[in-house]
Structure 1
Amino acid sequence: MSDEAVLRGVLNRWKAAVDAHEPEQAADCFTEDAIFQGLHPYTVGRAGISAYYASQPPGMTADYRILESRRLTPTLLLGYHSVDFAFPDRPTLTVNLGVLLRRAADGWSIAHYQVSLLP
């Protein structure tokens, strides 16, 4: 499977959960010990990730574009993306998103998630 296909497989699951406002399903896209840095203080693990997505406003959606990817090892894939978070009641927020995916026996998951605002 190509690196882009791997990234799309994980990010499409994440996007579907974000768009549907399903925080537990969003957290399931991550490893148990994932480091997560959204636009709030960082957290580690699925419970904190689920709480982060539960705090997002209903109606928020995500649209991502893959900008770069690097296969670091057979089980680690780095992805760099532009993401537009759209809201029903305010302007779209565009961020940079770096993810590190890790492959385990049950498939690929996000082990590290880092958002930064565009200048």
Structure 2
Amino acid sequence: MTDDKHPETVLRDVLDRWKAGVDAHEPQRVAALFTEDAIFQGLRPYSVGRQGVAAYYDSQPPDLKADYRILETRALADDLVLGYLAVDFAFAERPALHVHLAVVVRRIAQDWLIAHYQVSRLD
């Protein structure tokens, strides 16, 4: 990677900002971390683009909190990083939701943005 960042560091930089936006229930802030043509698959039918990401997170309970653990990373190219994570989404009024998340982040200019987001439930 040409900017001398380890793939896990790149991923953590993006995902820490994602987590902060989710935890603060700021859907537009979360959506701004995605590319304009991002493929987004939460636990509902997929969407393409930031508007779908914002709508998805806007529909989530305001008390939603995310906690993630990086399981695997791969530098696919100088400007692409793949990440595979375990994510716990916690709620005040119901049990936590445990999922796995695959993301591809892409460098655009000097920023890294999420280009692909795919949640899987394994239970």
| TM-score normalised to structure 1 length | 0.98
Secondary structure of 1:91's aligned partner: coil
Superposition deviation, residue 118 in structure 1: 1.5
Query: Counterparts of 1:77 and 1:51 in 2: how far apart (Å)?
Result: 25
Superposition deviation, residue 22 in structure 1: 0.1
Query: What is the root-mean-square deviation in Å for CA atoms of aligned residues?
Result: 0.6
Q: Percent identity?
A: 64
| TM-score normalised to structure 2 length | 0.95
User: Aligned AA for 1:22?
Assistant: E
Unaligned runs of 5+ in 2: none
User: Which stretches of structure 1, 4 residues or more, deviate above 3 A after TM superposition?
Assistant: none
Secondary structure of 2:45's aligned partner: coil
Within the candidate set 48, 53, 56, 1:44 is matched to 48
- Does residue 1:59 correspond to 2:63, yes or no? yes
Unaligned runs of 5+ in 1: none
The aligned residue for residue 15 of structure 1 is 19
- Does residue 1:108 correspond to 2:101, yes or no? no
